Chains A and B, each alone.
Chain A
Amino acid sequence: AQKITQTQPGMFVQEKEAVTLDCTYDTSDPSYGLFWYKQPSSGEMIFLIYQGSYDQQNATEGRYSLNFQKARKSANLVISASQLGDSAMYFCAMRHDTGRRALTFGSGTRLQVQP
């Protein structure tokens, strides 16, 4: 069974500072992908970044980077230079590359950026 754990229900960060949102996962399948999504109060799910289990380098997308530690089964999201518009819920998710191939989500972290 696959499981995603996000242990931080809420986080605060000062504007312009960096913040790390934690995510650990559990799977016995060797081939999978890890995703991070942002959900603002409007409810839409916005894709941020993807990391494949066989990728050698950590993924980066603008101010977002993924700290992937495969042996520890962690995939933390790092947001650099936080902006007020980053305030939202953030979800970590995993999808196996075979079989069901649907996303399994964590419970989310609510990030609040303070001026």
Chain B
Amino acid sequence: DGGITQSPKYLFRKEGQNVTLSCEQNLNHDAMYWYRQDPGQGLRLIYYSQIVNDFQKGDIAEGYSVSREKKESFPLTVTSAQKNPTAFYLCASTLQGPGNTIYFGEGSWLTVV
């Protein structure tokens, strides 16, 4: 089946640890995105990538890092520098060009313990 796969679905992190969230898509999409959602709120952009080997910071990039070595993969690392990482993380992708639908993965819940 085609789509966007995020893993793990649930993740617990100890304070001071880095964790990496996986996002893989087999839709041949050019652009990929990472969003963070806190309870009862909208989505905020962390990082985005419009082509392989290139990515830009979004609105809340501090404490996060990404890579885009392959077109189908856009992993997000939540570093120990992120002071409040407990949230729901959503990955998305789309084809370039106006009017293209942006599709989302099922999300990953990260909890700091």
Contacts and interface: CB of A to CB of B under 8 A. Distances in A.
Interface of A: 4, 31, 33, 35, 37, 42-45, 47, 50, 52, 91, 93, 95, 97, 100-108
Interface of B: 31, 33, 35, 40-45, 48, 50, 56, 58, 88, 90, 92, 96, 98-99, 101-104, 106-107, 109
B42 A44 contact: no
A47 B102 contact: yes
Contact of B104 (A44, A95, A97): A44
Contacts of A31: 98
A99 to B, nearest CB: 10
A42 B105 CA distance: 12
Given A33-B99, A91-B42, A105-B43, A100 B56 contact: yes
Instruction: Say whether chain B's binding surface is mostly helix, strand, loop, or mixed.
Output: strand
Contact of B107 (A44, A47, A97, A105): A44
B99 A104 contact: no
A96 to B, nearest CB: 9
A2 B60 CA distance: 16
A107 B98 contact: no
B99 A105 contact: no
Contacts of B40: 108
A52 B98 contact: yes
10 contacts: A42-B106, A43-B88, A50-B101, A97-B98, A100-B48, A102-B58, A103-B43, A103-B45, A105-B44, A108-B42
Contact of A101 (B31, B43, B101, B104): B31
Contacts of A102: 33, 45, 48, 58
A35 B43 CA distance: 13
Contacts of A97: 98
B42 A45 contact: no
